[in-house]
């Protein structure tokens, strides 16, 4: 840089330094992040990024594992959706004389109001629509990954939410197994609580669907999306409300919010499970928080649904078939976990170069218009 104003000017998206006139055309601080995520152009300054040739990544097993696991995860998703829709009418009848409570995390669970009768039944339909819409949107946004002419090229696939859903889902299963084994060595055993084992089929179908949707509202939208929205308003951004649905990109502020919300998410499981559930739940919270910030709440909802509805799948296909599918996901998940941890460590090394909020340039542009 030619002067002390070049750095801040480059970060703000200027093409030339207003202090010395030096060209800043090599890009902005966002370029590296977009390049790492596989994009061809920087979403901040518009510079064309110099990406590695696709053939270099074609046969990398750490990158291919998520693609290999995709058919098994899509089968599992299809079964889970079928189970939910198959039992929808029975759950509707079951909820006629039941009550549920919506809650927020403070970080403990705080009930805010009750739903019963027709309101609860309508809420069940809303949950179904939210989950189905999330699945459809993820598939539509992941067309590049599903094209038969990809030829094993992961460059296009890695830009899609389905790729990251596959990468993180299998990884989380393996990570939770490792955490449970380590905790067991120290006398902290994770066991399924009696209240879950005593659930009827209809109650299980409802509770797991509600967890997939409402817990994303309470654990992602409220503690991550709302603060980012308020921050965007302070910066004068006209599109501030889009932070509520997520998909606005990873910054240092959003990473901090992900970590805080994940700790609260883990702590919220202590009362209903035990302290042995806190770390596995927090790991899931970090993954869902990242998916929410990078791609949107529909992806975190679908991840949550995939995780919680696995047990419900046995209602339709039986435990043997479900176990076979999960085993295949776990086998690929071992490789996915290595790839995910590698990406995580590489990403942590670049936090210092990551934008703090990502809102400076946009707020100035809004005021200039």
Per the model's pLDDT, the better-predicted residue between 296 and 367 turns out to be 296
For the chain, the first-to-last Cα distance in angstroms comes to: 29
Residues 282/263, Cβ–Cβ less than 8 Å: yes
Alpha carbons 115 and 61: distance in angstroms, whole number: 48
CA distance 161 to 138: 6
pLDDT of the residue at 34: 66
* Spatial separation of the C-alpha atoms in residues 245 and 221, rounded to whole Å: 7
pLDDT band, very low/low/confident/very high, at 241 (cuts 50, 70, 90): very high
Kindly state the DSSP code that residue 49 receives in the 8-state scheme: P
**Mind listing the pLDDT tens digit for each residue in 80-112?**
999 999 999 999 999 999 999 999 988 788 999
Please check the confidence at residue 20 and state whether its pLDDT lies above 90: no
Mean pLDDT of the chain: 86
CA dihedral over 281, 285, 291, 296, signed as positive or negative: positive
Q: Which residues are CB-contacts of 226 (< 8 A; sequence separation ≥ 6)?
A: 244
Region at 249 (left for phi over 0; alpha for psi -120 to 50; beta for the rest): left
pLDDT at residue 1, as a whole number: 45
Nearest-angstrom CA–CA distance, 221 and 28: 29
DSSP letters, 198-251, are T--HHHHHHHHHHHHHHHHIIIIIIIIIHHHHHHHHHTT-TTTTHHHH--S---
pLDDT at 23: 60
Over residues 297-309, mean pLDDT: 97
- Confidence tier at 167 by pLDDT (50, 70, 90): very high
Tens of pLDDT, residues 243-270:
999 999 899 999 999 999 999 999 999 9
What letter would DSSP give residue 274? -
pLDDT value for 365: 42
What mean pLDDT is predicted for residues 315-339?
A: 95
Query: 361 vs 299, which has greater pLDDT?
Result: 299
Average pLDDT over residues 119-137: 98
pLDDT category of residue 156 using cuts at 50, 70 and 90? confident
Residue 155: pLDDT over 70: yes
**23-36 as b/e: b if 16+ CB within 10 A:** ebeebbbbbebbbe
Instruction: Return d(Cα 329, Cα 68) in angstroms, integer.
Output: 9
Q: Give the mean model confidence (pLDDT) for residues 150-177.
A: 86
Q: Could you tell me which residues are beta bridge partners of residue 103?
A: 111
Bigger pLDDT: 154 or 135?
135
Mean pLDDT score, 128-139 = 98
* pLDDT surpasses 60 at 185: yes
Neighbours of 195 (CB within 10 A): 11
Residue range 289-303: mean pLDDT, rounded: 97
Structure tokens at 121: 């039944």
Provide mean pLDDT across the span 138-149.
80
Look at the block and give the residue holding tokens 């067309």: 143
């Amino acid at each position: 840089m030619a002067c002390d104003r070049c750095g801040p000017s480059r970060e703000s998206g200027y093409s030339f330094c207003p202090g010395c006139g030096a060209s800043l055309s090599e890009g902005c601080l966002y370029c590296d992040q977009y390049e790492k995520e596989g994009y061809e152009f920087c979403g901040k300054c518009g510079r064309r990024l110099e990406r590695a040739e696709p053939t270099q990544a074609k046969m990398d097993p750490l990158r291919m594992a998520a693609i290999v696991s995709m058919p098994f995860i899509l089968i599992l998703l299809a079964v889970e959706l079928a189970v939910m829709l198959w039992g929808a009418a029975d759950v509707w009848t079951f909820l006629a004389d039941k009550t549920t409570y919506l809650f927020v995390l403070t970080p403990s669970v705080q009930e805010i109001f009750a739903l019963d009768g027709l309101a609860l039944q309508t809420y069940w339909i809303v949950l179904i629509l939210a989950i189905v819409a999330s699945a459809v949107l993820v598939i539509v946004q992941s067309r590049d990954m599903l094209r038969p002419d990809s030829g094993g090229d992961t460059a296009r696939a890695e830009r899609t939410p389905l790729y990251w859903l596959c990468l993180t889902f299998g990884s989380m299963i393996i990570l939770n197994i490792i955490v449970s084994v380590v905790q067991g060595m120290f006398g902290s055993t994770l066991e399924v609580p009696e209240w879950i084992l005593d659930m009827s089929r209809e109650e299980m179908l409802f509770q797991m669907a509600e967890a997939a949707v409402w817990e994303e509202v309470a654990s992602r939208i409220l503690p991550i999306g709302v603060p980012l929205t308020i921050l965007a308003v302070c910066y004068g951004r006209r599109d501030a409300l889009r932070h509520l649905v997520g998909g606005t990109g990873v910054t240092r502020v959003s990473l901090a919010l992900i970590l805080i919300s994940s700790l609260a998410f883990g702590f919220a499981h202590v009362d209903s499970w035990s302290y042995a559930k806190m770390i596995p739940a927090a790991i899931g919270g970090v993954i869902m928080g990242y998916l929410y910030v990078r791609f949107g709440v529909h992806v975190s909802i679908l991840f949550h649904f995939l995780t919680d509805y696995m047990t419900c799948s046995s209602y339709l296909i039986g435990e043997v078939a479900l176990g076979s599918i999960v085993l295949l996901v776990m086998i690929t998940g071992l490789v996915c976990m290595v790839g995910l941890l590698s990406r995580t460590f590489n990403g942590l090394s670049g936090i210092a170069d990551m934008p703090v909020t990502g809102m400076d340039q946009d707020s100035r542009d809004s005021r200039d218009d």
